[in-house]
Amino acid sequence: MTLLELFHNGGPIMWPLLVCSLIVLTVIIERIIFWGQLEARRDRVLLDTVLYLAEHGKWDEIRKVTEENRDHVIRVLVVGIMHRDYDMGPAMEAEAELILRRMNRFMPALDTMITIAPLLGILGTVLGIISSFEMLGAAGIADPKLVTSGIAQALITTATGLIISIVAVVPYNYLNTRIDQAAHTIEKYATSLEVVFKKLSNGSDRP
């Protein structure tokens, strides 16, 4: 049996399940591209250099070496350095929140598909069973083939909904792990910068 035949035999619920599968596929591909670009922009050597320069209070030099850099962690640190005379903590927190919001883009849609696909499959099961009983009542047991078509519809939609959910849950958990790791990295370096700046400030206040 071909995929087209399975789709046809699954009944009308296969159409919303097809939409769910397309949404899942689109989000996964988009997020893979997003994280690939994000990882390509990472510059861990420059990140350590920024902290080293910050320890020596070379703020202007930091601005020069990071001028065209697009590493998201460095961006957070630069925002903090730019607001060091006011309060770098909230400034870095606001920038980090914007970055994490971009990382979480489309994740609620993926989460929704993981939940709704099996429910649609169950709905297809119910409709298939109802159809089977209607045919059974109309034809009796003289033609059991009429009943099996409804049962096939029920099984196909259930299996399709479960497959969509299973396929989506793996990248969903992986992407959430990446987001958590990114948040931890940003927090670690932002805290390091704050500690360095406080040391410099306390040192300059001493007689």
pLDDT tens for 56-108 read: 889 889 989 998 889 999 999 999 999 888 888 899 999 999 999 999 999 99
Do residues 124 and 159 lie in contact, with contact meaning Cβ atoms separated by under 8 Å? Answer: no
Report the candidate in 154, 119, 103, 125 with the shortest Cα–Cα distance to residue 20.
119
pLDDT tens for 152-202 read: 667 889 999 999 999 999 999 999 999 999 999 999 999 999 998 888 877
- pTM (2 d.p.): 0.83
Do residues 162 and 120 lie in contact, with contact meaning Cβ atoms separated by under 8 Å? Answer: no
More confident site: 23 or 205: 23
Torsion of CA 37, 104, 13, 151, to 10 degrees: 90
Report the candidate in 121, 117, 118, 120 with the shortest Cα–Cα distance to residue 155.
121
Which residues lie closer than 8 Å to 43 by C-beta, 6 or more apart?
Answer: 69, 71, 74
Residue 206 has pLDDT above 50, yes or no: no
pLDDT tens for 117-162 read: 999 999 988 887 877 777 666 655 555 665 666 676 678 899 999 9
Tokens at residue 58, please?
A: 């070379």
Residue with tokens 């609620």: 108
Residue 26 has pLDDT above 50, yes or no: yes
pLDDT of residue 138: 60
Please give the DSSP secondary-structure letter assigned to residue 9: H
Do residues 148 and 126 lie in contact, with contact meaning Cβ atoms separated by under 8 Å? Answer: no
